[in-house]
Structure formats: C-alpha cells, structure tokens
Chain A
Amino acid sequence: MDFDTTIGRREFIKNLAISSAIIAAKAMIPGVLFANEADFKGLGDLDWNKTPCRFCGVGCGLLVAIKDGKAVAVKGDPQSPVNKGLCCVKGYHSIQSLYAKDRLKSAQIRKNGKLVNVPLKEALDLVASKMQETIKKHGKDSVSMYGSGQWTIPDGYIASKFMKGAIGTNNLEANARLCMASAVTGFISTFGLDEPMGCYEDIDYADVFVLWGNNMAEMHPVLFSRILDRKAKNRKVKIIDLATRTTRTSYASDKSMLFVPQTDLAIANAICYEILNSGKANFDFLKKHVSYKKGKTNIGYGLEDGFKFKDKLEGIDLDAVKKFLEDYTPEKVSKYCGVSVKDIRYLASLYSDPKLKVMSLWCMGVNQHTRGTWMNNLIYNIHLLVGKISTPGNSPFSLTGQPSACGTVREVGTLTHKLPYGVVMSEKAREKAAKIWQVPVSKIPSKPTHHTVSMFRALDRGDIKFMWIQVTNPMVTMPKLKRYRDGANKEDRFIVVSDIYPTPTTEIADVVLPSALWFEREGMFGNSERRTQHFNQLVQPPGQAMSDGLQIMEVAKRMGHGAMFPWTKENYIEKIWSEYSQFHANDKHSMAPYEVLKENPGMRWPYVKGKETRWRFHAKYDPAAKGDSYDFYGKPDHRAWLIIRPFEMAPEPPNKKYPFLLCTGRVIEHWHTGSMTRRIPALHQAVPEGYVEVNPIDAKELGIVNNTKLKLSSRRGSIVLKALIDGRARPQPGELFVPFFDESLLINELTLDAFCPISKQPDYKKCAVKIEKV
C-alpha cells in the first residue's frame, strides 16, 4: 500500500505536510477555512483542471494540477458553487488514490486457484464467452451486473443499455441500493418524483438545521462547514443534532438530542402531533397542496429468501391523521424514545415558527433503516404540515453518500426496476427505451428481478450463475457477509470484478479487469442537489486499465451487440450524453447540453431554456410548475402526499444473550471500504484500523479500557477489535459503533440482512451483539 513517490517526491511531501496540518486544524476547529490552501510555487508552472471530487455525494469542485502526465497537486475550486474553494481531508488527498504501488494495471484470470496476469483481450474474450455460455445454458436471468453510485453517468448508461436492452434481463443493481434506496422510495411515495426539491443554497437561507441521524461533520464536512459559516454570520441560527450517538456533529451543534435507535419514527410523529395540536400547522398550505394517505403496516423485514412486499396507499382525511397521531403525544413517545417531552416540543416549535426557515438533513441514519421509506415520509410530513418546502431555506434534504448515486443510479436507473426514464413495469417507459435504443419493446422485460440482497441470495442459491461487479466492493459491504461470500465462491459461479486495486471482492473473482479511475477517463457525476458535473480525462490510465463503460462495450461487441454501441473511445462520452438526454427531454428533468457541462462547474436539472433549476415544485423557481405557487406535479392530483406511518420495532432487539445494539458507519478519513483511502499514507496513518466504540459506563462495568481487545459476536459471526472509549464519538450505554472501512476486520460478518420492505435497503445500524474480553 505504499505510495508511488516518483512524482516530484519532495514537492509531494511538502503538499502532504501542509495537507496534514490542515486536516489537524479542521479536526480541532470545526469550520476553519483555508481558502488558498497552498500556492504550490515549488511545483513550477502547473496546468490546473476542474473535476468534481469522487469521495462523497456532495460533489465538491476540485482543481487538479497535472505535470508530466501525472496529477501532482489538488485544491478546492473557488469557482465551484458547491464548496467555494473548500475541501475535506479526502478531497485534499484524493489524487493520491491513483498512485498506490499495487494498482491493478493488467487483466487477470484465475488459473489453478490463483489470479494471473493475462492480455486484456484474453480476459474480455473470456468474460464474453462465459456470459454467452451461461445465458445459453441457464437463461438470460442467470447473468447479472452489480455496479455502484461511483459509476460515471455514461458507464451506468452503458450498463443499463447492455443488460436491459441488449441481453434483455433486469438483473442490474447497484450499491446505491444499500445507501439511497429509501430516499428514492420516500420521494416517490410522497412527491411522485425522485431527488430533492431544494439545493445547497438552502443552507444560505435557513435559520434552523435539524440533522436526523446524520453526522455531517464527518460524512459531509464541506456542507457542514457551510452550515457553520451560516451560523457564524448569523448567531440566531440553530443546529440541532438528533442522533443515536454523540459525534463531532453533536459538539458543534446548539443542541444534541440522543434517541433510542428506531424510535425516530415515533419522534417524527410526535413532532407532527405537537404541530397539529398546538394549532400551528399551515392549514392554508395543507388545504391547497396536500393529500392524506395511509399505507400497510406490520410489513416485515425481508429476512427470508423470496420475501415479497408491495405497499398500497389509501386516501384518508386530516381528521384521520389527527386520530392516528394520538398514539404519539410527546408524553407517550418520550417514555420510550429517550428524548424529553420538552425537547420534542422544542423541535416542534422550531419547525412551526412561521418566522424561521428550517432545513432537515439526513443520510444513512434514516435510509439504512428497516423502515427507511417511512422515515423519509415522516420528515416530509413535518415539512408539509408547516408548509416549509420548495422555497429558499425551507428544505427537507436527503444527502447522498456517493459521487453519482443520484446522477447514475437514480437518474440513469441502474436498478432492477428502473429504466433511464421510468420503470420497467411501465409500457410507456419500455417503449421509450426501445425507441431510443432501437431494440424491439419485447426485448426489455416488464418485471423487476432482484434487488441487491435478493441478487446475492440468488447467487448463493444458484439462480444466478454469473455476476459482473464494477466500482464496488460487496465482499466488504454486504450485510450478513459470510452467506454471500460463500455463495459467490461456490463451484459453478463465475465472477468478474472491475476495479483499480485488489480487494476482498477481487479475491472471489474468476476474472479481474483493471479500471480507469475518475479523471483517467472522461465522464460525468451527478451530486445530491441534482447537479451534473462533467470532467475531462486529465491523465492516461495505467497499463491495460480502461473505463468500466469501455469494458462493457468491448464485451457487448464480442457478444454480437456492437451495433448498439457504435461509438469510439474518443467520442463515446459525448455521444452517450446526447442519446441519454433524450430520455429526460422534458421540463421536469431536462439535462444541460454536453458543451454547457464541459464549460461549467456543473448544472442542476431541470435545465430549461439555458437556465438550471434551484427549487422544484414552486412556480417561482421551477419551469415545470404551473400556477403561481406550489405545484407538486409528480402526483396526479398535483399535491404532495402526507402518508401516516407508525412506529414499528427493529427486527433484532438486544436480549440477555446479545445485550448490545451494534451500529456501523464511516469515519471522515476513509471512503467506504477503504480500498482507496487506506492506500493514502496520511489518511491510513490517521485511522489505520477498525475499532469498536464503547460507552464509558459500559466500559467501566465490564473492565474495558482503550485498546482492550474485544470479541464482538452476533448470531451470524464474530470479530476481534480494539476498544475505543471517548475517541471521536460516544455511543449511548448499551450501544456500540464500528466503522466498516477496514477489510481486515469485516464488521459485516455480524450485521443482519434485514431491509426496508418498500425500498429493499438494508439496515446497517441495528443488530444485537455481545462483547467479550479476549
């Protein structure tokens, strides 16, 4: 994992030294800014180029300096409206992710149990022949592809066209199912259309920020800096951290409220109860713009193979909503949620104060939840009750974790049920895709097949025999990992992995294809605020590495589908953008032209008549909205749907044998499974290994001190970790936290593969475990 120091070694070390100091300052002083972090004089004349950062969903603009064909320096792009010149620690070190010594530069095929280097042509030939052979023998639904929110938009588009249009299977999924699916189903059920109505500019207008289970200081540090900057300029601004664990975000907030995991459902309902019963709801807004619905209850957890669920919404009235909320008075909820009656009322008062603009922000705490869709619905319910939505500063805002979870997975639709426009179940959407792809409509199947957990279960059972994994590391990230690793390793399964470094996922591969990373190729990402950002190829990929999209096109050609991918290596991005844009050619979603994206630090869709859209569903800002105010045009009645959702327990509560509740997550220094950031010396040294956070009360009772080795066990597996007490964060008594970045300490051996029955997104935040000193 050593860094290749042949690129201006001394200059590199100097930049590393400066970056390290900036990291330290940012850790000590939240919100500290270094607008011109380094002048890079020592590096001589540099060619600075814009590119979005790829290490979270915020989409910060970077400037990358290229010298002698290599990336040698990076700084925040002051022209980027996203980050205004700021970066987080991952951004400042991002370019080093290209140059670790064990970078995959050659294709590999497993021979006699070992991966050996082979010419790329041989590997691509094998992938194509194996895929064809599998389809011939077992049918088209026996092959699958699994990508991620780190796919560029064109790569995701190629994957969708290949799997759904060329092969004719809906066995296409992406790891965004594990992080954003509940946000999608939340948007769809409440508004009929996906993705936030607001944008990051809401931060510049909001008076109150309510963070729902969202450690923004570590997970979205640049946006959190913008919030702190807003607060620094306006002392009346309030930040409320509503969380299950005390974190750096809590310390920087005005108020930290800790709740019992899963009871966020009840707290949201209690806020709604209080707003309605104090007479502070915006009844005029409700009358004009909101419909009321109820869905199914006791909906299960998806723990068994073949689990099926389909929600059904029924119309109700406001009185029924009031009646439903009687079970959620602050007094009743406070008894089991851990938040005081006073604090619940305080939250309700902030949301309902007509003088205050309120922004709610959330990410994995809400989405990785067996009732994730419901939680998204409930936060919208609060905003709808007070009419604080779709205007500057009034914004329920679902943050994303990956650079193109929105742009690729959600917009292109690299999920089993999706097409670039609409869903496979819709004849109109299939007809549109067939027309643009020039294939018979009958080629595109009308039924979704497997969501992610189901897909890996199918691989284990043998219903799927072939899987091509790109840009993601499921052998670290899948919950209940052992089952899915054992399944992938079974005798007659064939696994292809496209990646840039060896990972636990390449360990299960029969073929490894070396991928080009980020600006080693041209592409686009789409961030959390509907902003599409183009980046040029700035350097050559090493060895045989090529973009994931080109790999798919090469295999498609070998399988006889070349006519669907008639583009060249030089023009395929521009050509794909032109073709893909046809899917969204309407006022509700039109994309900026290729030339505009190339010239600008991103554009937010809908891009209509040369203008981007900042706030959707309001006629003042959104060209698709009719009338003179709100128009929730995603729903047939042009209203937002307030859907009542109850509190239901998590599937695996602690008991006598497994008395602790385990939560997993990330740390600021590492990107997801650490396959890139653990190869960056400064980041690796900052957090070199996984650990388990223990509350000091539990630690005292069990005789645990820092670095005590603890065996963590769930019903599914065990690992040994060192204890960390009051490090960067503190879980509540009876709870533990373990980050998942460390591939040598696989916490997902313990986690449960329960998921939200509506979104099919797993819950990585709640499973029962025990700890023993070893």
Chain B
Amino acid sequence: MPIFSYLVYPRMGKKEELIKSLEGIPECKTVDSTNEDIVVLLTDTSSEEKEMHLQETLKQVPEIEGMALVYAGE
C-alpha cells in the first residue's frame, strides 16, 4: 500500500489545469503553493500493481513539466 509525495512543476501557465487533472485521479491529492508554480502531490494506492498503473497514468498528464519524488513509504 505505497504512499508517495512529489514536487510537481507545471508547464508554463498550466498550474490550474494540472491540479484539475491530478485531482481527477482517485489516488491523487494535491497541495497548491499560493505564490509559486509548484504543487505537492500525494499518492496513495492499495497495491504495488495499482501503484505501477498510477505511475503510468501520471506519465500521461500533459500539464506536468517535471516531477521530483520526495517521500516513499507504506
């Protein structure tokens, strides 16, 4: 049951759409910065398999410029 947190950098001017896209994924939760173009992403999946699937899904989110893994735990 992995839990991960990331720092996510949106493509220029796409932060709002990025948050919308991420919040649309059931396993994702975001915390928005109020003054910088950066978003904290928390992911919580129920199995390794679902985690792999989620990571593939995240790769497809077009508004993501880059991601940095910060925390990994179970």
**Interface on chain A toward B: helix, strand, loop, or mixed SS?**
helix
Report Cα–Cα, A229/B36, bound state, in Å: 12
Residue B54 lies at the interface, judged by CB distance under 8 Å to chain A: no
Bound-state Cα–Cα, A17 to B6, Å = 9
A702 CB–B CB distance under 8 Å: no
* CB of A260, distance to nearest CB on chain B (Å): 37
B69 to chain A, nearest CB (A): 9
Q: Which residue in A20, A25, A37, A229 is a CB contact (below 8 Å) of B71? A: A20
* A33 and B7 in contact, given A21-B40, A21-B71 (Cβ under 8 angstroms): no
Chain A positions 2-44 with a Cβ under 8 Å from a chain B Cβ:
10, 13-14, 16-18, 20-22, 24-25, 28-29, 31-38
Asked if B31 lies at the interface with its beta carbon under 8 angstroms from chain A, I say yes
**Also in contact, A18 and B34, with CB within 8 A (given A13-B73, A25-B40, A34-B40):** no
Contact assessment for B73 and A34 in the assembled complex, using a CB-CB cutoff below 8 Å: no
Q: Is A232 an interface residue (CB 8 A)?
A: yes
A20 touches B31 (CB 8 A): no
Q: Which of B1, B71, B74 has the most CB of A within 10 A?
A: B71
By the criterion CB–CB under 8 Å, are A25 and B38 in contact?
yes
Q: Which residues of B contact A37 (CB under 8 A)?
A: 31
- In the complex, which residues of chain A have a beta carbon less than 8 angstroms from the beta carbon of B1? 10
Q: How far is the CA of A16 from the CA of B71 in the complex (A)?
A: 8
Q: In the complex, which residues 42-74 of chain B have their Cβ closer than 8 Å to any Cβ of chain A?
A: 42, 44, 68, 70-71, 73-74
Taking a contact as CB atoms under 8 Å apart, the answer to whether B35 and A18 are in contact is no
- With beta carbons under 8 angstroms apart, the residue of A17, A21, A22, A232 that contacts B35 is A232
Q: Is there an interface contact between A18 and B73, defined as CB atoms closer than 8 Å?
A: no
CB distance from B42 to the nearest CB of A (A): 5
**Cβ of B33 and Cβ of A18 under 8 Å apart?**
no
Partner of B40, one of A16, A22, A31, A33: A22
Q: How far is the CB of B41 from chain A (nearest CB, A)?
A: 8
Q: Is A36 within 8 A of B35, CB to CB?
A: no
Query: Which residues of B are found within 8 Å of A38, using beta-carbon distances?
Result: 31
Q: Which chain A residues border B6 with CB–CB below 8 Å?
A: 21
B44 contacts which chain A residues (CB < 8 A)?
10, 14
Q: How far is the CA of A29 from the CA of B38 in the complex (A)?
A: 10
Choose from B3, B33, B73, B74 the contact partner of A32 (Cβ within 8 Å). Answer: B33
Is A32 touching B36 in the complex (CB atoms < 8 A)?
yes
Contact A20 B5 (CB under 8 A): yes
Total residues of chain B contacting the partner, CB 8 A: 22
Interchain CA distance A280-B57 in the complex, whole Å: 65
Contact at A34–B71, with CB atoms within 8 Å? no
Contact A20 B34, beta carbon cutoff 8 Å? no
Contacts of A18 in B (CB 8 A): 5, 31, 40, 42
In the complex, the answer to whether B36 meets A17 with C-beta atoms within 8 Å is: no
Complexed CA–CA distance, A24 and B3 (Å): 17
List, in ascending order, chain B residues with CB within 8 A of A32's CB: 33, 35-36, 38
From residue B61, how far is it (CB to closest CB) to chain A in Å? 17
- Is the CB–CB distance between B34 and A33 below 8 Å? yes
Contact partner of A24 (CB less than 8 A), chosen from B41, B68, B74, is: B68
B3 touches A33 (CB 8 A): no
Q: Given the known inter-chain contacts A14-B42, A16-B71, A29-B38, please indicate yes or no for A21 contacting B32, CB distance below 8 A.
A: no
Bound-state Cα–Cα, A241 to B36, Å? 24
Shortest A391–chain B CB gap in Å is 29
Is A13 within 8 A of B3, CB to CB?
A: yes
CB contacts (< 8 Å) of A22 on chain B: these are 31, 40
Give the residues in chain A near B40, CB-CB below 8 Å.
18, 21-22, 25, 34
A359 and B34 alpha carbons, distance in the complex (Å) = 27
Given contacts A16-B71, A17-B73, A24-B68, contact A34 B5 (CB under 8 A): no
CA distance A35 to B1 in the complex (A): 29
Q: B34–A21 contact, CB under 8 A?
A: no
Determine whether the beta carbon of A33 is less than 8 Å from that of B33.
Answer: yes
* Chain A residues whose CB sits within 8 angstroms of the CB of B38 once the complex forms: 25, 29, 32
Within 8 A of A (CB), among B13-47: 31-36, 38, 40-42, 44
| Cβ–Cβ contact A34 & B3, under 8 A | no
Nearest CB on B from A18, distance (A): 5
B28 → chain A closest CB, angstroms: 12
List, in ascending order, chain A residues with CB within 8 A of B71's CB: 16-17, 20-21
Given contacts A14-B42, A17-B71, contact A24 B7 (CB under 8 A): yes
Closest chain B residue to A20 by CB distance?
B71
**Residues on B with beta carbons closer than 8 Å to the beta carbon of A31:** 35
The distance in angstroms between the C-alpha atoms of A34 and B40, with both chains bound, is 9
The answer to whether residues A34 and B31 also contact, given A17-B71, A20-B70, A21-B71 and a CB cut-off of 8 A, is yes
Write the nearest CB–CB distance from A82 to chain B, whole angstroms: 18
B32 and chain A: residue at smallest CB distance = A34
Tell me the bound Cα distance from A14 to B71 in angstroms. 10
Cβ of B33: which chain A residues have Cβ within 8 Å of it? Answer: 25, 32-34
Q: Which residue of B lies closest to A225 (CB)?
A: B35
Instruction: Provide the bound-state CA to CA distance between A29 and B34, in Å.
Output: 13
Query: A54-91 CB contact bits vs B (8 Å, 1 = yes)?
Result: 00000000000000000000000000000000000000
Residues A14 and B32 in contact in the complex (CB < 8 Å), given A20-B71, A25-B40: no
CB distance from A222 to the nearest CB of B (A): 14
Q: Which residues of A contact B41 (CB under 8 A)?
A: 21
Q: Which residues of A contact B34 (CB under 8 A)?
A: 33-35
A37 to B33, CA, bound (A): 8
What 7 new A-B contacts, CB under 8 Å, besides A21-B6, A31-B35?
Answer: A16-B73, A17-B71, A25-B7, A25-B33, A32-B33, A229-B35, A232-B35
Q: Return 13 A-B CB contacts under 8 Å, by A number.
A: A13-B74, A14-B42, A17-B71, A17-B73, A18-B42, A21-B7, A22-B40, A24-B68, A25-B38, A29-B36, A32-B36, A34-B33, A37-B31
B-contacting residues of A (Cβ < 8 Å)? 10, 13-14, 16-18, 20-22, 24-25, 28-29, 31-38, 229, 232
Please name the 7 residue pairs, one residue from A and one from B, whose CB atoms are nearest each other, closest first: A17-B5, A21-B5, A17-B71, A20-B71, A21-B40, A21-B70, A32-B36
